Structure 1
Amino acid sequence: MSHHRTPRRFLCLSALAVACVLTSSSCNAGLLADDVKKEDGGPILLGMAVPQSGSTAEVGPYMSNAAQLAVDEINAKGGVLGRKLKLQVEDEACDPKTATAAANKLVSAGVKVSVGGYCSGATLPTLPIFDRHRIPMIIPAANSSELVDQQLKHVFLINGTGRQQSAAALEWLDKEGAEKVVVLHDNTSYSKDIAVRTEAGLDKTGGPEASGLHTITPGESDYGPAVTSVLKDKPDYVFFTGYYQEGGLLIKQLRQAGYTGKFLGADGLVDPKLAQIAGDAEGVHATMTQTPDTLPQAKGWIAAYKKKFKADPGPYSTQSYDAVRLAAEAIEQAGSTDGAAIVKALEAVDGFQLFSGPLKFTPEHTLSNGGFVILVNNGGRFVLKDNLQ
């Protein structure tokens, strides 16, 4: 016959629990003191998954540097809730598997808010990871409508959506008097979303004619078949909704094949390297939320960025800076790092000033105004062409 002895540790804990019932307030303070001290005294961790490797690695530093600048400025003013902010950056590589690993790493590290997300296709699989752990996401760049179609309450976009970008593209093509438009995408979530919406919006009475929807495979070095198909359709405008690496090759190969029409890209096309890849990107247009050098009010901010990082800020740097500022504001208003409280604070934001203007989220947690403008490549860099007002 065996005898089971109650472990001494259990007896001690039981006695302590009984004592807690008798003196609940003082006991609770004693039991939780270490946890509270750790929570209240340590830094508040923000997580950022952006490209650090792969074909879009050039964009990552623009975003992470700008986010760090915001963290440093907030900390210099005393932090948030009496605590410092800390930024942890992980690689998304514009790849779903890499981004998923990055999200899991950030969750394990204990981030309270995610302020990253560049490629929509890589950001999409991270949504349920952060949502499951009740971690709010303030996404500065990725903007496929699929991101909000899932209706996850922890997801907020501070870049215009694919729906809004498509509307801007259609407005510009109509304004330009385009007659026949070929639309190309690379089959990623962001690119396909904008392309399908734009192609469906063509062929309106008196507007541009849709000349077909074509696809390419990202990462290839020869887009000969796509170029042949485009030339066969004889468009006067080509709208490519993918990223600058493939866009640069398409521009180069289309021109080498004799295409003399105009070229419009989506925001993934906007990068200083486009001209290098294309050989000549003069006159190429793009739909884009404003970049730092197209914002008159960003002059002092650009100087601060250049002083700290010895480099010029690029696409999505202001949005990343604002993502951190917004996260800090929401935590401050919530009076807590609890995810549900932060979500309520974000939903209640009304007039918080971003570079794009005063913020108030729609019920879908998107911007009420996408803020897209038309940029044009001039001398190798994109400058403001039309604000579409």
Structure 2
Amino acid sequence: MQFGSRRRSRLLQVAVAASVLALTAGCSSGLAGGDSADSGDGPIKFGMLAPFSGSESAFGSYMENGAQLAVNEINEAGGVLGRQLELVVEDDACDATTAVSGANKLVTDGIVASVGGYCSGATLPTLPIFDEAGIPMVIPAANSNELVDQGLPGVFLINGTGDQQAAAAVQYAEQIGATRVAVIDDATSYSADLADAFTTQATEAGLTVEVTATVTPGENDYSAVATQLADVKPDLAYWTGYYQEGGLIARQATDAGFTGVLMVADGSVDAKFAEIAGQGYTENVVGTFTQTPDMIDGADAWIAAYTELAGDAPGPYSTQSYDAVRVMAQAIDDAGSTEFDSVVGGLEGLADFDTFAGPLTFTDDHTLSGGGFVIVSIDPDSGAFVLKDDLQG
């Protein structure tokens, strides 16, 4: 059966992750077993790591509520394998050390699957922890190519990869006639990976990459890169980091005299971007993103259900988190088991499973066959990102 609504409604290296794991492995008895120990009684526990503190904390609530809505719907329909689902959440603060601690807590708590992961730099070091514990992962948001490059059998991504997002950015740049571009990252795994992919693909497409810059996240003064953009005057500058810094860069670059298009990646697509940038500083801002419910025809009932649960409207990655739970639940149901190899086989066997991003069939490397990225812009009245171009025309 198909669960829930069918509406379509520079880098952290593995060596670093392994060293962090070695320092913390003794904190979790779950790592010693090599496989999740599901007793077969009681609820089936799904774990979610997401940012509930720090600069990206808004996304944690969106993800938790989207996942909880799916859990509620599945439980109301009878559960999975005759058992109820339970969502267990831990804060990763978009920080590698915090994420490792949270992953170990989830393993100790007896989860059989992971349906979390927002920041790639925080998600990457949790991969070996869940792999060692025999816990499959359906990652709803984090999408650095590095996650795929680890080649771990239990890792599946339902957000488009960095390569796919970069392709959308290059397509839009060509579409608006941009020939000279810039790219700015914040040195985190996700941001640097996407910047590298964009630089490579833009060059291959015949665009001239005039500026490549890296900034330090968490600062307030980005005048150096803002002045560089104003002096070089690229047609389009691509910011691949998060909204906290992105909003400041938008404001400071405009004040410095940059008049080109400022494109931001999905980590910056949130209404807080406009709030940080300020009134009058977002007219030239567009973003690469996957569609949210408000952009999808027929999603009104889902939005109403989410709003009733959360007390607020859904935001970015609420739908992906909803689908991550549904995808994992379907795989367990198809496998007839929560055992690792069986669930991985169930995930690999999914064919045209209906999700908000469209029919899902995983590729051989456990990613989506198409990224589903669109171009969004900022509504001047609400500050929210809205659909601008679906890149289909």
With structure 1 as the length reference, what TM-score do the two structures score?
A: 0.88
For 1:187 and 1:72, how far apart are their aligned partners in 2?
A: 38
Q: Alpha-carbon deviations, 1:69-93, whole Å to 9, x = none? A: 1111111111111100000000010
For 1:202 and 1:299, how far apart are their aligned partners in 2?
A: 37
SS, match of residue 166 in structure 1: helix
RMSD after superposition? 1.1
The equivalent residue for 2:123 is: 123
SS, match of residue 313 in structure 2: coil
SS, match of residue 296 in structure 1: coil
SS, match of residue 294 in structure 2: helix
Q: How far off is 1:275 after superposition?
A: 0.6
The equivalent residue for 1:221 is: 220
For 1:239 and 1:332, how far apart are their aligned partners in 2?
A: 42
For 1:229 and 1:284, how far apart are their aligned partners in 2?
A: 18
The equivalent residue for 2:250 is: 251
Q: How far off is 1:351 after superposition?
A: 1.1
Contact 1:151 / 1:364 at 8 angstroms: preserved in 2? yes
The equivalent residue for 2:374 is: 373
Q: How far off is 1:194 after superposition?
A: 1.0
Structure with larger RCO (C-alpha < 8 A, sep 6+): 2
Unaligned runs of at least 5 residues, structure 1: 1-37
The equivalent residue for 1:168 is: 168
Q: Alpha-carbon deviations, 1:44-71, whole Å to 9, x = none? A: 0000000010110011000001101111
Q: Which runs of 4+ in 1 moved over 6 A?
A: none
For 1:147 and 1:309, how far apart are their aligned partners in 2?
A: 30
SS, match of residue 70 in structure 2: helix
Contact 1:283 / 1:378 at 8 angstroms: preserved in 2? no
The equivalent residue for 2:86 is: 86
SS, match of residue 374 in structure 1: strand
Q: How far off is 1:204 after superposition?
A: 4.7
For 2:114 and 2:267, how far apart are their aligned partners in 1?
A: 21
Q: 2:295 is matched by which residue type in structure 1?
A: T
SS, match of residue 209 in structure 2: strand
For 1:268 and 1:172, how far apart are their aligned partners in 2?
A: 18
Q: Alpha-carbon deviations, 1:148-193, whole Å to 9, x = none? A: 0010001000000001101111101000101211110001111111
Summarize the alignment of residues 1-389 of structure 1 with structure 2, pairs less than 5 Å apart. 39-204=39-204, 207-279=206-278, 280-379=281-380, 380-389=383-392
Identity among equivalent positions (%) equals 56
Q: How far off is 1:133 after superposition?
A: 1.0
Q: Alpha-carbon deviations, 1:272-296, whole Å to 9, x = none? A: 1111100032341111111121111
For 1:273 and 1:51, how far apart are their aligned partners in 2?
A: 15
For 1:70 and 1:118, how far apart are their aligned partners in 2?
A: 18
SS, match of residue 298 in structure 2: helix
- The alignment of Structure 1 onto Structure 2 pairs a total of residues equal to 351
The equivalent residue for 2:12 is: none
Q: 2:240 is matched by which residue type in structure 1?
A: T
For 1:350 and 1:47, how far apart are their aligned partners in 2?
A: 24
Q: 1:41 is matched by which residue type in structure 2?
A: D
With structure 2 as the length reference, what TM-score do the two structures score?
A: 0.88
Contact 1:177 / 1:208 at 8 angstroms: preserved in 2? no
Contact 2:48 / 2:117 at 8 angstroms: preserved in 1? yes
SS, match of residue 125 in structure 1: helix
Q: Alpha-carbon deviations, 1:292-320, whole Å to 9, x = none? A: 21111321100111112110100000000
Q: 2:391 is matched by which residue type in structure 1?
A: L
Q: Alpha-carbon deviations, 1:186-244, whole Å to 9, x = none? A: 01111111111111222456x43210210100000001111122223221211100001
Q: 2:227 is matched by which residue type in structure 1?
A: T
For 1:218 and 1:160, how far apart are their aligned partners in 2?
A: 24
Q: 1:233 is matched by which residue type in structure 2?
A: V
Change (3 A) 1:225 1:283: closer
Larger radius of gyration: 1
